[in-house]
Amino acid sequence: MSAREIGLGSARGNLAALRWNEGAPVRVLALHGWLDNAASFAPMAPHLPGLDLVALDLPGHGASAHRAPGHDYVFVDWIHDALDALDALGWDRAVLLGHSMGGGIASLVAAAMPQRVERLALIEALGPIGGRAEDAVARLRQATTARRIADASQSRLSRTLPSLEAAIDARLAASRMTREAAGLIVERNLREVPGGVAWRSDPRLKLPGHVRSDEATVQAWLGAIECPVLVLAADPSPPYFSPSVRDARLHALRDGRCVSVGGGHHLHMEQPEGVARVLLPFLRGEG
């Protein structure tokens, strides 16, 4: 089953996406993780029959527009990008499927606009990454300094890499995943330039964020989610999504459950058939 490349207009620039099985009865908007893109859902798409699956390139990623010059990637703005995509598709309600950062975004969309979300399926996420109050000042100062340095040095220019293989090597040096999975993500995040290839993802995505919400706030948001929630958690878990944090957040949900699956952070790419087997009944509303 091949994907169709589509564009979705929004007030802040074009949103690119991949679409599988258009017109199927269950509408699913998929949101990828940080520095990934829509291609991260490609391995699982053939195993999700009956779904009109639209995988978005979030702004600054893949083929989507970047934030305007002088602006940051503020987490709550991602809510509006997801809602803009739903509006452009003409979907009043949909199922949301999110991985990692995309799962955090999907969680906040469901909390902020519960009437738009039928069900919420999350892979390696439940709400955004939280922060401690005692770290707030240091985080603010670090992020502000990094942003000023980036603006002054014009560091948004992307460095040239000699080949796709070199770019995959660079991604694997920063992320633990199979080479095949990294290749799918990297290829969509590249553009050809004289002398090789360059990232088309926005370098500003790597700047630290100014603010992280405390756990009490995150749990309050999660408690406002009205739809059923299914969380798939990798075993072993990453340090930023520990079992203790995950369990406390699950307890905050009105209707949520978690399934643990052996594998790495990109388990939906590395074992797509098995993950789809767990997700599909929930996505279809069958269990």
**Class of residue 117 by CB neighbours under 10 A (exposed 0-12, middle 13-18, buried 19+):** buried
100 given a catalytic annotation: yes
Distance CA 216, CA 202 (A): 31
How many angstroms separate the most distant Cα atoms in the chain? 54
Kindly write down the DSSP assignment for every residue of 218-237, as one continuous string.
HHHHHHT--S-EEEEEEESP
Three-state DSSP at 49 gives: coil
Q: Is 20 helix (H, G, I), strand (E, B) or coil?
A: strand
Among 10, 40, 64, 100, the one annotated catalytic: 100
Q: What is the 8-class DSSP label of residue 197?
A: E
Helix segments in 113-163, DSSP class H: 136-153
Residues 143, 208 contacting (CB under 8 angstroms):
yes
Residues classed as catalytic = 100
